[in-house]
Amino acid sequence: MARAVRTWLTHLDVERGVSRHTLAAYRRDAQRYVRHLEAAGVTAPDEVREEHVASFLADLRRGSEEHPPLAATSAARTLVAVRGLHRFLALEGLAADDPAADVAPPRPPSRLPKAISVAEVSALIDATGPGDTSSSLRDRALLEVLYGSGARISEAVGLDVDDLDLDAGAVRLFGKGSKERVVPLGGYATEAVSAWLVRGRPEMLAKGRGGPALFLNRRGTRLSRQSAWAIISATAGRARLRGEISPHTLRHSFATHLLDGGADVRVVQELLGHASVTTTQIYTMVTVQQLREVYAQSHPRAR
C-alpha cells in the first residue's frame, strides 16, 4: 500500500499539478490510512475491502490516543483523499476494483435540531382545540403519535388504520426507502388514537369515499403533509410557544427527551429509523445542556 500511495502522490504532483499544500494534506491523510490498514493486516491494494474504508472513516470520527476525533467536514475531506487514491489505483489497473466507491462521506449538520421541553410538549398537545370535536380529536391524536413514536410527518400522514396495534401499543411506520419499523406507542398516544378512531374519524370518513387512512381531513380523504404542518403551527400559536414549531420539532423532542431519560443512542437510532448511528448522535449534543445544569447544581465549585 505504501508503494501504491507514492505512485498516486507522484501522479498528483507531476500530472495533475496539485498545489504543495494540497499534496502535503493528501500525503498526511494517506499515511494515516495506510497505518490503519496495516493494523488490520492489509498490506496490498487488492486486499482492501469496503469495510476497511468504512472502519477508517469511523475511526476518524471516533479519534484515538494519537489523533483527536475529526468533525464531519474534516473526516469528509480525508475520505476524499482515500477515494481519490482507490479510484486512481482502479483506473491504472493497479487494483481490481474500487472499494471506496460506495463509502459516503459524513454530512455535517446545518444546525442542531430544535427541541422543546416536556412542559412545552404538554402545552402544545393540550392546545389542540376545545371540546370533543372530530377536528380536536384528530389533532390531539396526530400530535401524540408524532411525539410518542418519533415519526416523520410523512410517516404519520401515510399511516393506515391497519398499521396500528393498539392492544400491543405499537405502530408500524414506513420510513425512507420504504424501510419498515415497528415502534411502541405510549399510553397517552394510544388513548388519543382510540378516541379519534371511535368518536372522530367516523364523522370525517362519512364525508369522503372511505379509505384506510388513519388521519383524515374535513373532506374525508387522507390528511396531507401541508395540512398537518398547518395544524401544528396553529396549535403552537394557541399554546403561545415561541419560535417556529414544526412536525420535526416533535421528532427532535422525542429523541432528545429519550436520551435525557437515559436511553441508549442505538435504541433511539432504531426508533427513529436512522440508517447510521452517526445521524442519531447529533442529539447527544443537545443534551449537553442538561449536563451543564446538573453540574452547576451539584458540583461544589461549579460557580
Q: State how far the Cα of 190 lies from the Cα of 258, in Å rounded to an integer.
A: 18
* Alpha-carbon torsion angle 108, 111, 113, 114, nearest 10: 180
Our answer to whether residue 176 is catalytic in this structure is yes
Give the active site residue among 6, 16, 67, 176.
176
Q: Are 147 and 254 in contact (CB under 8 A)?
A: yes
Q: What angle do CA 175, 176, 179 make, to 5 degrees?
A: 60
Our answer to whether residue 283 is catalytic in this structure is yes
Our answer to whether residue 114 is catalytic in this structure is no
Q: Are 159 and 182 in contact (CB under 8 A)?
A: no
Task: Work out whether the CA dihedral 64, 66, 69, 73 comes out positive or negative.
Answer: negative
Domain boundaries defined on the chain = 2-91, 118-292
Give the active site residue among 77, 87, 238, 248.
248
Q: State how far the Cα of 194 lies from the Cα of 36, in Å rounded to an integer.
A: 55
Q: Give the global pTM.
A: 0.59
pLDDT by 10s per residue, the chain, length 303: 999 999 999 999 998 888 888 899 999 999 999 999 999 999 999 999 999 999 999 999 998 888 899 888 889 989 999 999 999 999 999 999 999 999 988 876 556 668 899 999 999 999 997 678 999 999 999 999 999 999 999 999 999 999 999 999 999 998 876 788 999 998 999 999 999 999 999 999 998 876 899 999 999 999 999 999 999 999 999 999 988 898 889 999 998 898 888 888 888 888 888 877 766 776 766 566 666 776 777 777 765
> Which architecture does CATH list for 2-91?
Orthogonal Bundle (1.10)
Q: State how far the Cα of 141 lies from the Cα of 159, in Å rounded to an integer.
A: 12
pLDDT at 290: 64
Give the active site residue among 152, 201, 222, 252.
152
Our answer to whether residue 240 is catalytic in this structure is no
DSSP 3-state of 167:
coil
Give the active site residue among 36, 83, 138, 251.
251
> Which architecture does CATH list for 118-292?
Orthogonal Bundle (1.10)
240 CB neighbour count, 10 Å cutoff: 9
Give the active site residue among 283, 299, 301, 303.
283
Q: Where are the beta strands (DSSP E) in 178-252?
A: 180-184
**Full DSSP string of 24-40:** HHHHHHHHHHHHHHHHT
Q: State how far the Cα of 212 lies from the Cα of 191, in Å rounded to an integer.
A: 20
Our answer to whether residue 107 is catalytic in this structure is no
pLDDT at 4: 94
Our answer to whether residue 248 is catalytic in this structure is yes
